């Protein structure tokens, strides 16, 4: 099956723990960089899909971004909102649009600027709605994503018999990749003792179980595969989603398998043919869950799988090769997507993996409620 | 501790007004009687009307977290929050009046008398 579409350009703004501009400013930088990287001029762009954190204020990235960028007449302009799946959903929509001739070059952008100079967590305190009664979690004091994910972490740790050392092994493997990535923020090798000594945010989650938040933006240009001229395109082979139930139901967390298996089926490949995974892992256990839920290892064995080195540099399933959200940087769905593009282009330097023809990329939103997945690769066929 | 009521719709208003009277209720289908989770506004059969049934107050502990990072002065740390499954079936986020170290999954809980905007459970022993 020919590829659905291609990613022809990738651009990032400055990424920083400091305040380096509004989300809107940073989005402009990322889009211009991506368009230039694709060998295009802003006037060549005929689609713009905008994504942001669900916790960012309404109006953070308005449709006026089109005007900010002095883009010409667009055939597609929208904000895409799927919480942590927004970026992959935008790229999926863009791929279908260019494949069906409704646009030629669609830019998908994500930007976030919630890290405050004071180091305050205020930008990350918004309560996640789990029960289904609006405003309820904030009233019970379940503030921020970390507390909500802590409940899910304990539930999965009990069900799968994971312990803190399993979560630590995951964080250590991600840090090993980050050490090879000049763009990663946390590059000092992590030991199990370091992990166990890191402060607890919300039990059972420690600081090193959590994403490393940054201010920054990233954008990609999605083009019809035949319209990519300047550099080898990164092919989009398959796409899937899975939204299987409310957060407090037993079904919700199974959505990742539905999304991943959907994307693999769409791409026409088997799980065993996946050569690399770039996962949305805002919390360590989310990566362990993906490995088990999708069948990369058996239930209860993700800790051993990661400790065996399978997902680390040199392992047979390179996983979050830029350090992921924990050690690389947290730009939600753009973190795994950007790393997949860099790997597929063979631009990953010291951390470059050999096989780049079947890269699984995932996105996760809500509290494990929303899932999206794609298969990307450097070859026309996966 | 009481928090202000946040009534976003008639559904939230109904749930919160029962709490304010000291009653915990859960939704079920007015047409077929199916017990619904709090996230549902109609039953899977497509019947749209929700009725509110009294909950017994018995529950089991599914999961819990203890905050060590403070996000709001109203909730000083360490602060315990639980995911609780009512005996009738629906799950709800609630406060726990218990020593964190004594909590175990599957533990039996009972509801303390509800107050406006808050649900607090305690271990039965």
Q: Which of A132, A137, A150 has the CB atom closest to B37's CB atom? A: A132
CA distance A55 to chain B (A): 15
Q: Output the pLDDT for position B116.
A: 85
CA distance A153 to chain B (A): 9
Q: Are A310 and A173 in contact (CB under 8 A)?
A: no
Q: Output the pLDDT for position B122.
A: 97
Find the residue in A nearest to B39 (Cα).
A132
Residue showing tokens 């209720």: B25
The DSSP 8-state label assigned to residue A232 in this structure reads P
Nearest to A344 by CA among A279, A298, A296, A276: A276
pLDDT at A106 over 50: yes
Q: Which residue has the higher pLDDT, A278 or B49?
A: A278
Residue A82: pLDDT band by 50, 70, 90 thresholds? very high
Q: Do B71 and A121 touch (CB under 8 A)?
A: yes
Structure tokens at A350: 């010291």
Q: Output the pLDDT for position B118.
A: 93
Task: State pLDDT tens for residues B13-64.
Answer: 999 999 999 999 999 999 999 999 999 999 988 888 899 999 999 999 999 9
Q: Do B65 and A151 touch (CB under 8 A)?
A: yes
Task: State pLDDT tens for residues A186-241.
Answer: 999 999 999 999 999 999 999 999 999 999 999 999 999 887 776 789 999 999 99
Find the residue in B nearest to A155 (Cα).
B63
Q: Output the pLDDT for position B4.
A: 47
Find the residue in B nearest to A126 (Cα).
B71
Q: Output the pLDDT for position B5.
A: 46
The runs of H, that is alpha helices, within chain A are 23-37, 65-68, 86-99, 136-140, 144-160, 164-178, 192-197, 255-267, 284-293, 302-307, 334-344
Q: Output the pLDDT for position B8.
A: 58
Q: Do A133 and B11 touch (CB under 8 A)?
A: yes
User: Helix/strand/coil (H, E, C) string of chain B?
Assistant: CCCCCCCCCHHHHHHHHHHHCCCCEEEEECCCCCECCCCCCCCCCCCCCEEEEECCCEEEEEEEEEECCCCCCCCCCCEEEEEEEECCCCEEEEEECCCHHHCCCCCEEEECCCECCECEEEECC
CA distance B58 to chain A (A): 18
pLDDT at A21 over 60: yes
Percent of the residues in chain A that have a pLDDT greater than 90, as a whole number: 91
Q: Which of A130, A144, A202 has the CB atom closest to B68's CB atom? A: A202
pLDDT at A295 over 50: yes
Q: Output the pLDDT for position A249.
A: 86
pLDDT at A261 over 50: yes
Q: Under DSSP, is residue A263 helix (H, G, I), strand (E, B) or coil?
A: helix
In this prediction the ipTM stands at 0.93
What's the average model confidence in pLDDT over B73-96? 97
Query: pTM to 2 decimals?
Result: 0.96
Q: Are A344 and A200 in contact (CB under 8 A)?
A: no
Summary mean pLDDT of chain B: 91
Q: Under DSSP, is residue A206 helix (H, G, I), strand (E, B) or coil?
A: strand
Interface of A with B (CB under 8 A): 121, 125, 130-144, 146-147, 150-152, 154-155, 158, 199-205, 246-249
Cα angle for residues B113, B118, B119 (degrees, 5° grid): 55
Q: Which of A136, A138, A154 has the CB atom closest to B64's CB atom? A: A154
- CB contacts of A147 in chain B (<8 Å) are 65, 67, 71, 81
Least confident of A6-15, A197-206, A244-253: A244-253
Interface of B with A (CB under 8 A): 3, 6, 8-9, 11-12, 15-16, 37-40, 62-69, 71-72, 74-75, 79, 81-83, 91-95, 100, 105, 117-119
Q: Do A138 and B6 touch (CB under 8 A)?
A: yes
Handedness of CA A348, A354, A359, A362 (dihedral sign): negative
Summary mean pLDDT of chain A: 96
Q: Do A202 and B118 touch (CB under 8 A)?
A: no
Q: Which of B11, B62, B75 has the CB atom closest to A141's CB atom? A: B75
pLDDT at A1 over 90: no
């Amino acid at each position: 099956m020919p590829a659905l579409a291609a990613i022809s350009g990738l651009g990032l703004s400055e990424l920083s723990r400091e305040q380096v501009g509004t989300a809107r400013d940073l989005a402009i930088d990322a889009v211009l960089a991506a368009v230039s990287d694709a060998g295009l001029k802003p006037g060549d762009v005929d689609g713009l899909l905008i994504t942001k954190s669900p916790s960012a204020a309404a109006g953070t990235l308005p449709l006026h971004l089109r005007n900010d960028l002095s883009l010409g007449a667009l055939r597609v302009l929208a904000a895409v909102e799927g919480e942590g799946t927004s970026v992959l959903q935008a790229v999926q929509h863009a791929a279908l649009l260019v494949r069906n001739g409704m646009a030629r070059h669609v830019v998908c952008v994500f930007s976030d600027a919630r890290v405050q100079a004071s180091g305050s967590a205020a930008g990350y305190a918004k309560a996640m709605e789990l029960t289904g009664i609006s405003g309820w979690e904030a009233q019970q004091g379940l503030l921020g994503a970390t507390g909500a994910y802590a409940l899910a972490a304990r539930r999965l740790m009990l069900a799968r018999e994971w312990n803190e050392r399993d979560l630590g092994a995951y964080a250590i493997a991600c840090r090993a990749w980050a050490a090879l990535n000049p763009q990663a923020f946390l590059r000092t090798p992590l030991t199990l003792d370091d992990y166990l000594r890191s402060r607890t945010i919300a039990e059972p989650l420690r600081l090193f179980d959590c994403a490393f938040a940054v201010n920054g933006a990233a954008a990609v240009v999605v083009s019809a595969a035949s319209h990519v001229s300047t550099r080898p395109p990164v092919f989009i082979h398959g796409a899937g989603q899975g939204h299987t139930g409310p957060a407090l139901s037993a079904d919700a967390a199974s959505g990742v398998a539905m999304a991943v298996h959907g994307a693999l089926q769409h791409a026409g490949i088997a799980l065993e043919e996946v050569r690399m995974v770039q996962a949305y892992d805002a919390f360590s256990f989310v990566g362990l869950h993906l490995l088990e839920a999708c069948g990369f290892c058996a239930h209860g064995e993700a800790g051993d799988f990661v400790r065996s080195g399978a997902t680390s540099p040199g392992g047979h399933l390179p996983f979050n090769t830029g350090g992921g959200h924990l050690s690389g940087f947290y730009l939600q769905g753009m973190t795994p997507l950007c790393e997949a593009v860099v790997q597929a282009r063979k631009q990953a330097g010291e951390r470059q993996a050999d096989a780049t023809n079947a890269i699984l990329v995932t996105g996760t939103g809500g509290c494990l409620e929303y899932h999206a997945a794609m298969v990307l690769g450097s070859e026309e066929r996966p | 501790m009481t928090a202000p009521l946040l009534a976003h719709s008639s559904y939230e208003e109904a749930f919160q007004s029962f709490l304010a009277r000291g009653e915990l209720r859960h939704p079920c289908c007015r047409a077929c009687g199916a017990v619904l989770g709090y996230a549902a506004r109609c039953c899977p059969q497509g019947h749209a009307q929700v009725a509110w049934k009294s909950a017994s107050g018995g529950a089991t502990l599914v999961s819990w977290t203890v905050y060590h990072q403070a996000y709001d002065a109203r909730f000083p740390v360490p602060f315990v929050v639980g995911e609780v499954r009512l005996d009738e079936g629906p799950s709800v986020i609630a406060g726990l009046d218990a020593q964190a170290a004594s909590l175990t999954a599957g533990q039996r809980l009972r509801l303390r008398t509800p107050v406006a905007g808050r649900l607090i459970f305690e271990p039965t022993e």
